[in-house]
Amino acid sequence: MSLLDHALKVRENAYAPYSNFKVGAALRTADDTVFVGCNVENVAYPEGTCAEAGAIAAMCAAGDREFVEISVVADSPSPVTPCGGCRQKIAEFAKPDTKVNMHTTDGKVMTLTVAELLPGVFDAGHMART
């Protein structure tokens, strides 16, 4: 099953009663393990948690710390890019040349590298003097 297939499948589990905007994400580690996540909203925080963050959290909970590709899918007119917080999380757990695939449910796709998605990323090197 492709990353897109995994993301489409988990997207159906999203909890989006306020926005009705379901998002699914799937990432693959170097050993071909796939982790998935979907967005989850709640009344106090209607924006909810993001699908990408959920997939990364699942990866970390399993003890992995790096992924080699990620796909995100939403039912939108054009591919939806990850939010700022998720871009930082993606950059934390992937190399700059890692592919980030953004899909619509009707087949549009945009692929960027992590470096293209988040130029000037804050990383551990910025704290070298502490």
Q: Is 52 considered catalytic here?
A: yes
* CB contact at 8 A, 80 and 86: no
Give the active site residue among 12, 41, 52, 69.
52
The tokens for 108 are 């549009």
Which residue's structure tokens are 């159906």?
Answer: 12
Cβ atoms of 85 and 117 closer than 8 Å: no
Q: Would you please indicate which residues are annotated as catalytic (active-site) residues?
A: 52
